[in-house]
């Protein structure tokens, strides 16, 4: 019964996503979306589902996902200002390098979102992920210590992503 519910839930979410992206409720769009949703759900090969099932709709997770958006925007803006300041004042020293960052996130999707969030903030770039370790290119390495770099680069993002993705 649990597998059937999971199949129906994932198919419904994908179908609704199709309808939102299509922006139309005509019969042809609805049928095409339904067929594609069923096929994608069947082809997922019983692996881990990106959506995480119905528990992803827990109110606390939704709240943290909503709060993550302004946090991410703030991080991007502050990083842009920092990098712009380094460009406009060339006398500001930079110390580029690759640092090791440990993440607390257990979910592969959560780790992927963390890596993408780090990459979206100017001055940092996720280079590699191996298990719970990420290698980040940082425009101004403040510390080579993995714990200090993790606190500076990833901890703010992890606070939200840990609740959203587990």
For every one of its 166 residues, what pLDDT tens digit does the chain have, with 9 covering 90 and above?
A: 577 777 788 888 888 888 888 888 888 888 888 888 888 877 765 554 555 555 666 788 889 989 999 999 999 999 999 999 888 987 877 888 899 999 999 888 889 999 999 999 998 999 999 988 999 999 888 888 878 888 888 889 999 999 988 7
The pLDDT assigned to 55 comes to 62
The full length of the chain comes to 166
For 84-106, give one letter per residue: b (16+ CB within 10 A) or e: eebeeeeeeeeeeeebbbebebe
The pLDDT assigned to 80 comes to 93
The pLDDT assigned to 72 comes to 93
Q: Edge-to-edge strand order for the sheet containing 133-138?
A: 97-102, 133-138, 124-130
The pLDDT assigned to 53 comes to 55
What token pair was written down for 95?
A: 């110390």
Q: Return d(Cα 101, Cα 119) in angstroms, integer.
A: 13
Each domain of the chain, given as residue ranges in start order, spans: 2-55, 58-165
Q: Return d(Cα 24, Cα 30) in angstroms, integer.
A: 8
The pLDDT assigned to 19 comes to 87
The pLDDT assigned to 57 comes to 64
CA 100 remoteness from chain centre: 19
The three-class DSSP label of residue 97 is: strand
Nearest Cα to Cα of residue 164 among 124, 107, 119? 107
């Amino acid at each position: 019964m649990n597998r059937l519910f999971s199949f129906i839930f994932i198919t419904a979410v994908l179908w609704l996503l199709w309808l939102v992206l299509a922006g139309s409720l005509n019969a042809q769009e609805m049928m095409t979306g339904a067929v594609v949703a069923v096929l994608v759900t069947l082809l997922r090969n019983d692996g881990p589902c990106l959506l995480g099932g119905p528990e992803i709709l827990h109110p606390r997770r939704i709240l943290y996902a909503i709060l993550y958006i302004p946090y991410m925007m703030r991080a991007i803006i502050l990083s842009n200002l920092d990098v712009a300041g380094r460009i406009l004042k060339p006398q500001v020293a930079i110390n580029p390098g690759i640092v090791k960052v440990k993440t607390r996130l257990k979910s592969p999707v959560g780790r992927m979102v963390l890596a993408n969030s780090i990459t979206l903030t100017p001055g940092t770039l996720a280079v590699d992920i191996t298990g719970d370790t990420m290698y980040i290119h940082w425009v101004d390495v403040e510390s080579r210590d993995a714990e200090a770099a993790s606190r500076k680069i990833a901890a703010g993002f992890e606070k939200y992503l840990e609740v959203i993705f587990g």
